[in-house]
Structure 1
């Protein structure tokens, strides 16, 4: 498949002449190019938005960007599936409808999921069976930032940041109507997807509308749903060939508009997301999800005085989902609240360029019913942050960032005896990062980042007390939990020149008070009573415990053009990663860590045609905690062919993609359900996109 590339920059790079705005209509711009030119545009390094508020040509963050044709060819049904296999990124893999990104072995509240730079308000970090209320179909661009540079978004971005960008609030005038319609079909689960958006306006006003629909049947799998290891333990062979309760649907729509003046804009948008999907761990359980979002964004530029520009984003979300067992609502989750972010770019202070900013949020989470793991809790956060950059010489670039954050969690008076005694907690957390880049040549650079981050425990890590069917545990929080403290280091060598891109880097994260779900050896029933393991409803007790932990590994990616004859070219690419995570006190490995993975890709372009071949091998993961099962190695083969052409004023892209053509049994080591829910077997996907 057409590879994504690391973010590489050179002072003389043509991309430095591109206008830098957060919500550029990227897809429409790329679609207006000839097929081979569009591919070249994606080979050039796109401008990074996330964790780069200065819009510099040389941000230091290790990052990945998917957009344009690359995004269309790689897009999965979920955000996690779309990003899985990018350097340092794996997925929680809870069936075809639920897959949250994992970055460098960290998931849940250690990964910040953003939409246009503002955090989403949902329940996906609480449980593996809770889907993200976001569809890759509505995204024009997806950015992944790894490592210490992500600290500007808070302690819960210690693993990294995933930011999806759309154009619901246009940031620039749209004087020529533009739009997109895209549809596709995948054979593995008879998945049908369609998305459309349209934008038009004048020099003073722009309007954007979009909508999408996804639905699928049961997922076809190669052989048994349960792994051979699990079948040997419990003696159960069925089900087979299809993954039960793996069907679902999702719909969404949005409308937004902006008013423009000479040095800024102000915009408002409203969006909805609605889904109904099955829990593959519980054959009789369906999840119905609904989200309403209202967002306000704007920017004022070219100001006189110490502040040169101010940009802000504010979002309010009303989220809820119900877990329905055999037609009866068992548990209802609600999360309502707002988050805002303000960034102000100051005038140069001698050699320093920088931004200062503030972020604030207030959310109220409630869980009602059979699986009410936590009491109703209000969480308030407020933070100040700054990022300064110094181009010390033609070769040296330095960046320094810092953030101070206050978090307060306040549980409501207990109406359930399980939560009696839960008390409010408050935390003051600080983070700092230092980055440096040295250019050995205009194309070859050494980049180093270091940081110290503190993360406040979330409400569920503090107050959880109840059965958790999604993981098959009885989960108990740690009311005395302290802040996580982590030292993080990155070191990378990057090369970028025209069609040749490469990056290889190592990272190390050293945690103090890492909150891990550890089995205690006891068993409890649904009522919370300690019971023998042979009791019919006995669940192993897991408690959030503070441990000393470390995560380290290597990430690499790159591509080279070995044949170039104008409109004809042949590229080779290689990407992969390796991560290890340990309890430093015991030496025991931490759970759900992806093994060594490597993907070799080749692509050939001829005029409007583009073809790609990927071969991915994931090694076996034998480094698992006690009482956990290892995962086997697997190799997959993927193939795609696309044709881009223009009719009148419409740019068309037709594509055919084959996934897992060898019908390999894929069990993600990072998935809590790997032994009962494998990935899809052989699948063919056909799609068509029209843009104007």
Structure 2
């Protein structure tokens, strides 16, 4: 939901009949810009003479009386979606995307319940960055749709999704957007009374799933420690046509962290581990092969801030992360004969990343007040995909990047603000792939081809340069207009350059292209936002021209095995496919990474209207609409683009109760790419009711209790996701489901 945050989500602000509006949880948006305003924090004391920083409240997170003027804020320059911890707790699903995929502009890849990657405005994989507390999730999810993002929803206090110019802060691999998990695994403030905690959990009918989590933060004398943990188990889920085989998830994880917190900043570190085993549905699961992934990741994060407020500096901030990721892809190779799981392939990723940002103090000029920040961003990763008796989809590939970026804002008047941003980045990818890729038809065997490719090793380097300009203007009735333009270059990813083998998840035999150039995107976006009063809305329209859009082009062949020297056997589609001495009897569609010009345009809107006071609160209506259209220059459609969606609902809210019932209709998708088919539309019916009450404060600690029920797809519709590779196998999404959830929070 573009820039809706808490304002336009079902948990957004409302005004009641009372003079004081209903208070809602504060949401501090941190991802969009390195230019951070002085925090409007309440000063708390540890009792030892060292003031600590309490969590800040922001206008977007708190209920605002009708008619209050909208303050300019950092994220107003861009489209931002936020999901609060209450929304996360109420939503069924083991991935971050499950909470986001019904918001405007966002859908999920829904390859498997344990691997559901976000698709933003029709873009995914190498164009969408996922991160936790400012550092990338350091996984291999972009390489394949069956690979999970190693962050469970229970680890998130909130999730932010950012599009547009703000993505320049994070690099060319964020060209489509950033999905950012924010939490207190590295404590940034002393909790009130020196302690805060939470216990939450839930159960879901559609998959007999149960999950639970805890979070504890405590501190004194400027030292704050944190611990959290979660466990999640689900069985195969039900669909309108029966149980969908091999859709289970079993995951667990947790983290420990500690910080030094003072009046001028903080410094902290954390260690986190996540383990997950999940099944992959589809034809192989129906045949008893039951493919599954066994994933584990260890990650160390460090973060700090020094609020200088002198020498021309407002603050200095840094982030660092290092991780070790591995997953095994397992399957039963002889169902009914030998039911032992064997490792078919293993993916590993070792990655380190660091970012430093320096914000200068505001500078007054004849034009207005300048506020800005500069930063540097460094990363290194080593990735490998080993499979099929030593063959590799991806040989060990090392990627190094170094970048500098700059953001500057100018307050021309009280109503007009400008922002400029730029980034220059150098990326070097060192790996082994194939060049001179060609095939020859075998003599006496019509339709059968023998392909050759010469091996190439070495470093490919790129220097993407990006820039953006934005303007905000405050219109009457507390409405803000925004207009942004950006030019972004993206360096090809290691897998796009050096892939060379079978990719079971997508059913493709992938050949990378070491001669790819940078991908270039020019975007213009306009938006209107009103976040106060009885009527609140946010709308965005955008157009993007891609020069050299990188994609996987089908070659019209089905292949089986490959040798390490770059020889493999294929058949023209329609001649039976497969066979010929490969390692698998399954045929894989031959694809080659190519570049092609393309045009994307779309629109997203969400609105909420408080109709009238009733009982102790207010009732209202909400609505949303989104679409994206994407075509190559020859008029053909870009594959896997989601359909138009239109939805709305009724809600009630007061200090304790929240209730909503609504529908979201996805239209038929008849604009489909090569080798795709049309996807029928569907209508999702949902309903939710929850009750929250605050207990009596004792020893400075106030408990807050929440319990609720949420139903999803209550009409038990047959849902096929056009954006999913599992669409062609007819894998249905979950049917009717009811989730019982609850939490107890202390402070």
Q: TM-score, normalised by structure 1?
A: 0.90
Distance in 2, matches of 1:194 and 1:430, equals 45
Which residue matches 1:294? 300
Per the alignment, do residues 598 and 37 of structure 1 end up closer, same or farther by CA in structure 2, a change over 3 Å counting?
Answer: farther
Shift of residue 413, structure 1, vs aligned partner: 9.8
Which residue matches 2:600? 551
Per the alignment, do residues 242 and 7 of structure 1 end up closer, same or farther by CA in structure 2, a change over 3 Å counting?
Answer: closer
Which residue matches 2:449? none
Shift of residue 306, structure 1, vs aligned partner: 2.7
Distance in 1, matches of 2:512 and 2:427, equals 18
Which residue matches 1:564? 613
Shift of residue 117, structure 1, vs aligned partner: 1.0
Shift of residue 58, structure 1, vs aligned partner: 2.1
Which residue matches 2:666? 618
Which residue matches 1:392? 412
Where 2:463 maps in the other structure, the secondary structure is: strand
Shift of residue 418, structure 1, vs aligned partner: 7.0
Q: Please tell me the root mean square deviation across aligned C-alpha atoms, in Å.
A: 2.2
More displaced 10-residue stretch of structure 1: 187-196 or 141-150: 141-150
Deviations 1:508-546 (Å, cap 9, x if unpaired)?
Answer: 111001001111112222223233441334322111110
Q: Which segments of 5 or more consecutive residues in structure 1 lack a partner in the other structure?
A: 10-26, 224-240
Shift of residue 36, structure 1, vs aligned partner: 13
Question: Are the equivalent residues in 1 in contact too, given 2:91–2:98 (CA < 8 A)?
Answer: no
The answer on 1:535 being equivalent to 2:555 is: no
Which residue matches 2:89? 72
Which residue matches 1:263? 264
Which residue matches 2:711? 658
Q: Which has the larger radius of gyration?
A: 2
Shift of residue 460, structure 1, vs aligned partner: 0.4
The answer on 1:105 being equivalent to 2:103 is: no
Per the alignment, do residues 68 and 134 of structure 1 end up closer, same or farther by CA in structure 2, a change over 3 Å counting?
Answer: closer
The answer on 1:51 being equivalent to 2:68 is: no
Q: Which segments of 5 or more consecutive residues in structure 2 lack a partner in the other structure?
A: 38-71, 333-340, 435-451, 563-567, 579-585, 697-701
Shift of residue 176, structure 1, vs aligned partner: 2.6
Where 1:72 maps in the other structure, the secondary structure is: helix
Distance in 2, matches of 1:428 and 1:251, equals 40
Which residue matches 1:576? 625
Which residue matches 1:233? none
Where 1:376 maps in the other structure, the secondary structure is: strand
Distance in 2, matches of 1:86 and 1:607, equals 25
Per the alignment, do residues 246 and 75 of structure 1 end up closer, same or farther by CA in structure 2, a change over 3 Å counting?
Answer: closer
Distance in 1, matches of 2:19 and 2:605, equals 26
* Corresponding residue pairs, total: 645
Where 2:99 maps in the other structure, the secondary structure is: helix
Where 2:302 maps in the other structure, the secondary structure is: strand
Where 2:603 maps in the other structure, the secondary structure is: strand
- Once the two structures are superposed, the pairs formed by residues 166-565 of structure 1 within 5 Å of their partners are 166-174=183-191, 175-223=193-241, 241-281=242-282, 282-283=284-285, 284-326=290-332, 327-350=341-364, 351-370=369-388, 372-411=392-431, 420-441=455-476, 443-527=478-562, 528-533=568-573, 534-536=576-578, 537-565=586-614
Where 1:531 maps in the other structure, the secondary structure is: strand
Shift of residue 419, structure 1, vs aligned partner: 7.7
Where 1:520 maps in the other structure, the secondary structure is: strand
Question: Are the equivalent residues in 1 in contact too, given 2:154–2:213 (CA < 8 A)?
Answer: yes
Of 721, 727, 734, which aligns to 1:674?
727
Per the alignment, do residues 334 and 301 of structure 1 end up closer, same or farther by CA in structure 2, a change over 3 Å counting?
Answer: same
Question: Are the equivalent residues in 1 in contact too, given 2:354–2:377 (CA < 8 A)?
Answer: yes
Distance in 1, matches of 2:645 and 2:300, equals 40
Question: Are the equivalent residues in 2 in contact too, given 1:366–1:376 (CA < 8 A)?
Answer: yes
Shift of residue 4, structure 1, vs aligned partner: 9.3
Per the alignment, do residues 301 and 653 of structure 1 end up closer, same or farther by CA in structure 2, a change over 3 Å counting?
Answer: same
Which residue matches 1:686? 740
Per the alignment, do residues 163 and 37 of structure 1 end up closer, same or farther by CA in structure 2, a change over 3 Å counting?
Answer: farther
Question: Are the equivalent residues in 1 in contact too, given 2:206–2:736 (CA < 8 A)?
Answer: yes
Where 1:137 maps in the other structure, the secondary structure is: helix
Question: Are the equivalent residues in 2 in contact too, given 1:269–1:294 (CA < 8 A)?
Answer: yes
Question: Are the equivalent residues in 2 in contact too, given 1:465–1:474 (CA < 8 A)?
Answer: yes
Per the alignment, do residues 555 and 4 of structure 1 end up closer, same or farther by CA in structure 2, a change over 3 Å counting?
Answer: closer
Question: Are the equivalent residues in 2 in contact too, given 1:422–1:463 (CA < 8 A)?
Answer: no
Per the alignment, do residues 151 and 626 of structure 1 end up closer, same or farther by CA in structure 2, a change over 3 Å counting?
Answer: same
Distance in 1, matches of 2:625 and 2:208, equals 30
Deviations 1:390-424 (Å, cap 9, x if unpaired)?
Answer: 1110110100001010000011699xx97821331
Distance in 2, matches of 1:517 and 1:616, equals 31
Deviations 1:616-653 (Å, cap 9, x if unpaired)?
Answer: 10001010113211110101110111011233432110
The answer on 1:595 being equivalent to 2:643 is: yes
More displaced 10-residue stretch of structure 1: 80-89 or 209-218: 80-89
Which residue matches 2:52? none
Shift of residue 260, structure 1, vs aligned partner: 2.0
Distance in 2, matches of 1:138 and 1:145, equals 19
Which residue matches 1:230? none
More displaced 10-residue stretch of structure 1: 597-606 or 351-360: 597-606
The answer on 1:644 being equivalent to 2:692 is: yes
Distance in 1, matches of 2:236 and 2:543, equals 40
Shift of residue 598, structure 1, vs aligned partner: 1.4
Shift of residue 494, structure 1, vs aligned partner: 1.3
Which residue matches 2:113? 96
Where 1:673 maps in the other structure, the secondary structure is: helix
Q: TM-score, normalised by structure 2?
A: 0.83
Question: Are the equivalent residues in 1 in contact too, given 2:3–2:79 (CA < 8 A)?
Answer: no
Shift of residue 431, structure 1, vs aligned partner: 0.6
Shift of residue 7, structure 1, vs aligned partner: 5.0
Of 147, 154, 168, which aligns to 1:151?
168
Where 2:239 maps in the other structure, the secondary structure is: strand
